Chain A
C-alpha cells in the first residue's frame, strides 16, 4: 500500500489547472449576471416560468413591481426597462397577451453564460481528473482528510450543478458555484494541504465509503441551496423596493421560483444529511462502542440537522416570511461550514481527521 507520488503530483497540477479554468468560468458567468446589456425579463423567464405563473395562495407575492421601475429607470436603459416592465406586468397579471416573444432580444443567446458553462465543463473534467489521480495515487477513496474532502466535495458540487442546469436553467448560479469552488480549492491546497498518504486505522472501514460521500453530497446540496437562498432574499428585496444596486436581480426568476428550487434542494440535502447522521452513528458504534456519545462532531451534526429541520418547519408555519425562512437556510449552511472547519481543526474530539 505505497503511495504513487507521481500521480499525487499530477493531481496537484490538475487542481491548479482546474482552478485557473474555474476562475475564467466565474468571470464569464459574472458577465452574464452582472455585466453587459440589460436583459429582458422574458429571457430569464425560461422553461420554468413559461406557463403563466400561478401563485400559490399561501405565498402570494408581489406582482406589478416593475411598473415604476420602467418610468424611473435611467435613460440609457429606458427602452429595455419599459419593455421589461410591460412584460413583467403581463406575467404578473396573468393576462393572455404574448409576453415578450415579439421582442427581438428574447432570442439573444446568453453568450457569456454559454462560455461559462463550457469552461465549467472543462474545469469539471480537470477537477474530476484531480480527484481520480489522487485516489489512484493512494489506491483508496479520495476523502481521507480535509483537503481530500474539499477536493471531492467541490467536484460533486460542480457535477450536481451541471446536472441541474440540464433540467432547469439555473445558470445564474454559475458565478457563485465557480467562485465558491475556486475559493474552497484554494484553501484545500494551502491551509488544508495534506500530502497523499494512506488512512489512519480509525478510518479503515467500509463505512468511509458510505458515510463520507453522502456527507459530501449533503454539503454540496446544502451549499447550492444556500446560494439560492441568498439570491432569493436579494430578489425579494428588489421586488419590494427595487434598489439600484440590486438591478442585476432582474435577470433572475421571481423570488418565489428561486425559493421553490432552493427548498427542493435543501429538502434532498436534509434527507442525505439524515442519512449521514444515521450512518455515522452506526459507524460510531463499530469504532467507539456507542452509536451516540455527544462528541463535538456529533453535536454539530445534530445542530445542523435541527437547524434544517427548523427550516423545513418554518416554511410550513404561518407568519414566517420567505425571507425569514431563507435566513434559517443560511444559518444552516453556516453551521455546516462551522462543523467542517472549526470543529475539525480546533475542537477536541474523536473526529480529528483533518490531517493537519
Chain B
C-alpha cells in the first residue's frame, strides 16, 4: 500500500544553518503521527516542506502520492494545513471564513453548504456562524481554523502545534475530533512540544537539531528508554543526541 507521506534524506538549509537534516520517514494512511521537538528543532520547516510551501535543499518526498518539489498543486488540493498562528480573517464572520476556504478548495453551491453544515455541527460552531471571528474566544478560533482546514475532506491534515495555549477541555475536545478524522482514514501529521498531546499519537518522532533522534509508539519509547512519561523520554533523547553531536 502507498504511504501517505514518504521522505528520503529531506534536507533544508538556511545559509550554513541546517534546519532539517536528512529526514527520512514514512507515515501510513489513517495514522496519527506526532512530530515532537523543542523550539527551533526544525518541526515547522519540515511541515512547510511537506505542504509545498518551502522547497527542500536536497532529498525527496511524496505527500498523498505527489512529489513535494514538482507536484505542489496536487498536494495542495489533497491536504489541509493548520498553522501555529491563527491565520483566518478576524474581520469576517465565522461563516464567511468557512465559505471563503470552501471556495478556495473548489467547493460551491449545495455541496459547500452541506459540507459547512456537517463541519459546523462536528465542531459545535453552529451558534457562532454569524459572529465576527475576532469576537469569539481563542479556543473557538482554533476550532474554526480546523474547520477551514478539513472542509474539503483532505487526505492528510497537517497541524502545527494546534492546541498551544488552549484550555484542557477544548484540547480534549479537539483531540476527540482528530481521533474521529483519523478513524475515517485521514492521515494526521502533528507537531508539538506538549507531552500530553503526543500521547494521542500512534507514533512519535523526536526531532533534535533537524534530525530524528528517536521514532516509535509512545509506549515503545517509554519502554525503550525506561521512563514512565514521554516528558522524561523526550529530555533523555535530547540529552543523548546533544552529547553524541558534541563528541563528534
A-B complex is real: no
Interface set of B (CB-CB < 8 Å, partner A): none
